[in-house]
């Protein structure tokens, strides 16, 4: 079985996994009213793989000719990377700005390990690259849904993993080594889609020192492994199935869950790093390189919705010709298109990796793009809310709107521009409210790494020598230093 149907995916989730949601243990995640929102969103991955219109984009053949999910194949060229971007963008456009999650984050972790595992093997004589490839093969053969567990709960942010108090389980770590595997303990937080996945790929979330070597651990684990408990994130939606009041949050629930590893056994062939501490940071950094691309791609699609909502509300309220509204709409277009351009540039100028035959998005461009969209999100929401007016905060519910006793009154008094049905305006109002939720703010700011993480990368990657050479040339400073670009340029102004 290389490509699963949506029903095969759904059936695979009835496996005794331990999931809690809204205070209760969930016996069957496929029938729970809230978890089903996440399930349906993830199932779109499998729907699209079966759809003749999209199958050519989202599936491919592996070396033995089997049809597999394209995103599980390693990307080896600029064209592969651009195609991956097209897949993520299509997923996001289909699912209202949030790419269908069955493999969305996991694939980036798999690629990060593909790059770093051979480095560890070379230095330590381990066989992690073979383990990673076998895991990739398993994921392709079973067409698994794969969550990515990197972010530890972390405890005191100023202390390293092994220094934490009153216990040292704030970061997932090895508590026992056996001849056939390892036992791990600790907790990961905000792990998207985990309760509705088949597998979790676990990576270290930071660089480690020798004292922390037990925390330098990476592995793949089925979600029903004994000792593994998942606690769902509180959903935004208050009434599942109410698409009028909650157009986004009743359609997409990413369920960024907490995962507790209470002495979980991991067999040797599922281990990808075991205490080789200098490589923990490399894995986290490499995951960031791959995942930034996913982030800016889906965000560009989400921004189309945001900017579209602002333009549509301006049209419905008949304010689109007013100068300050036009100025805000112009800003939103600039924000949307710049995010798109930067994400694409990161693929166009991708980097090849000497330790593997993979390519990954240009790290400087990808970090700049991620920082740009996250840093500007709240301004974008401010403009959208400003254009839409107070109704976004005070709009009556669908229950009132469709109540025959008062429907006529609401229809009459909540109308705007003549010819625009009141119901259309109210549906748009509800979309704008969902877009401006605190969940949307937080996911934009923190998912795929906080702003400080991008700033660190941008500073570390900056070609300051090039910038300094440019400044020295303009200032006529001759200090004997040379630069590949600026020392080769002709004299300016010309001596004519």
Interface contacts to ligand FAD, rule CB under 6 A:
105, 148-151, 154, 157, 190-192, 256, 442-443, 446-447, 449-450, 452
Before 465, cis peptide (omega within 30)?
Answer: no
- In angstroms, the CA 150 to CA 82 distance is 25
The partner residues of 274 in beta bridges, in order of sequence, read 217
Give the nearer residue to ligand FAD in terms of CB position, either 197 or 317: 197
Write out the two tokens for 29: 């995640």
Give the nearer residue to ligand FAD in terms of CB position, either 54 or 439: 439
Rounded least distance, CB 86 to ligand FAD, Å:
22
| Closest alpha carbon to 110 in 136, 83, 138 | 136
Rounded least distance, CB 370 to ligand FAD, Å:
11
Rounded least distance, CB 160 to ligand FAD, Å:
9
- In angstroms, the CA 169 to CA 63 distance is 42
Give the nearer residue to ligand FAD in terms of CB position, either 452 or 495: 452
Rounded least distance, CB 148 to ligand FAD, Å:
5
Give the nearer residue to ligand FAD in terms of CB position, either 70 or 253: 253
- In angstroms, the CA 159 to CA 206 distance is 12
Q: Which residues of 282-320 are buried (b: 16+ CB within 10 A; e: fewer)?
A: bbbbbbbbbbbbbbbbbbbbbbbbbbebbbbbbebbebb
Give the nearer residue to ligand FAD in terms of CB position, either 149 or 363: 149
Rounded least distance, CB 230 to ligand FAD, Å:
12
- In angstroms, the CA 150 to CA 202 distance is 6
| Closest alpha carbon to 105 in 146, 153, 50 | 146
Rounded least distance, CB 430 to ligand FAD, Å:
21
DSSP 3-state assignment of 489? coil
Rounded least distance, CB 124 to ligand FAD, Å:
25
Rounded least distance, CB 446 to ligand FAD, Å:
4
Rounded least distance, CB 201 to ligand FAD, Å:
10
Query: In the sheet where 217-222 sits, what is the strand order?
Result: 146-149, 199-202, 217-222, 271-274
Q: What is the per-residue DSSP string for 85-136?
A: HHHHHHHHHHTTTS--TTSTTHHHHHHHHHHHHHHHHHHH---HHHHHHHHH
Give the nearer residue to ligand FAD in terms of CB position, either 235 or 449: 449
Helix (H) or strand (E) holding 470: helix 464-475
Give the nearer residue to ligand FAD in terms of CB position, either 120 or 150: 150
Give the nearer residue to ligand FAD in terms of CB position, either 158 or 484: 158
| Closest alpha carbon to 430 in 459, 388, 467 | 388
Query: In the sheet where 181-191 sits, what is the strand order?
Result: 24-26, 18-21, 228-231, 257-267, 181-191, 173-178
Give the nearer residue to ligand FAD in terms of CB position, either 118 or 449: 449
**Cβ neighbours of residue 311 closer than 8 Å, sequence gap 6 or more:** 320, 329, 332
């Amino acid at each position: 079985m290389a490509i699963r149907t949506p029903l095969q995916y759904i059936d695979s989730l009835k496996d005794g996994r331990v999931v809690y949601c809204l205070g209760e243990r969930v016996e069957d995640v496929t029938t729970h009213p809230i978890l089903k929102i996440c399930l349906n969103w993830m199932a779109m991955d499998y729907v699209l793989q079966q759809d003749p219109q999209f199958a050519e984009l989202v599936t491919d053949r592996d070396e033995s000719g089997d049809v597999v999910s394209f995103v599980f194949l390693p990307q080896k060229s600029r064209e592969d990377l651009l195609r991956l971007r097209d897949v993520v963008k299509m997923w996001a456009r289909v699912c209202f700005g949030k790419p269908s999650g069955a493999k969305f984050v996991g694939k980036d972790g798999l690629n990060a390990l593909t790059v770093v595992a051979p480095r560890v093997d070379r230095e330590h004589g381990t066989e992690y690259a073979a383990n990673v490839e076998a895991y990739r093969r398993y994921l392709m053969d079973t067409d698994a849904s794969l969550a990515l567990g990197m972010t530890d709960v972390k405890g005191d942010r100023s202390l390293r993993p092994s220094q934490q108090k009153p216990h040292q389980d704030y970061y997932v770590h090895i508590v026992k080594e056996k001849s056939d595997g390892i036992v791990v303990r600790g907790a990961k937080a905000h792990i998207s889609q985990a309760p509705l996945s088949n597998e979790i790929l676990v990576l270290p979330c930071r660089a480690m020192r020798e004292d922390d070597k037990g925390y330098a651990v990476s592995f793949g684990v089925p979600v029903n492994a004994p000792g593994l408990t998942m606690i769902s994130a509180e959903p935004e939606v208050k009434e599942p199935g109410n698409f009028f009041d909650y157009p986004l949050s009743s359609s997409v629930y990413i369920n960024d869950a907490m995962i507790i590893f209470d002495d979980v056994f991991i067999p040797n062939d599922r281990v990808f790093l075991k205490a080789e501490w200098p490589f923990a940071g490399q894995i986290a950094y490499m995951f960031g390189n791959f995942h930034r691309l996913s982030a800016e791609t889906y965000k560009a699609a989400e921004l189309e919705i945001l900017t579209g909502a602002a333009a549509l509300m301006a049209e419905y309220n008949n304010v689109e010709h007013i100068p300050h509204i036009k100025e805000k709409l112009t800003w939103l277009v600039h924000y949307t298109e710049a995010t798109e351009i930067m994400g694409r540039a990161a693929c166009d100028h991708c980097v090849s990796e000497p330790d593997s035959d993979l390519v990954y998005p240009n790290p400087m461009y990808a970090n700049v793009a991620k920082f740009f969209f996250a840093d500007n999100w709240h301004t974008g929401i401010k403009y959208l809310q400003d254009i839409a007016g107070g109704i976004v905060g005070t709009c009556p519910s669908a229950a009132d709107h469709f109540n025959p006793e008062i429907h006529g009154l609401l229809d009459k008094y909540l109308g705007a521009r003549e010819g625009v049905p009141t119901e259309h305006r109210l549906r748009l109002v509800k979309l704008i409210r969902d877009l401006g939720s605190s969940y949307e703010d937080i996911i934009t700011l923190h998912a795929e790494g906080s702003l400080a993480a991008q700033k660190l990368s941008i500073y570390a990657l900056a070609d300051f020598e090039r910038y300094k050479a440019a400044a020295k040339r303009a200032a006529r400073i001759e200090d004997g230093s040379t630069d590949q670009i600026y020392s080769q340029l002709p004299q300016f102004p010309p001596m004519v």
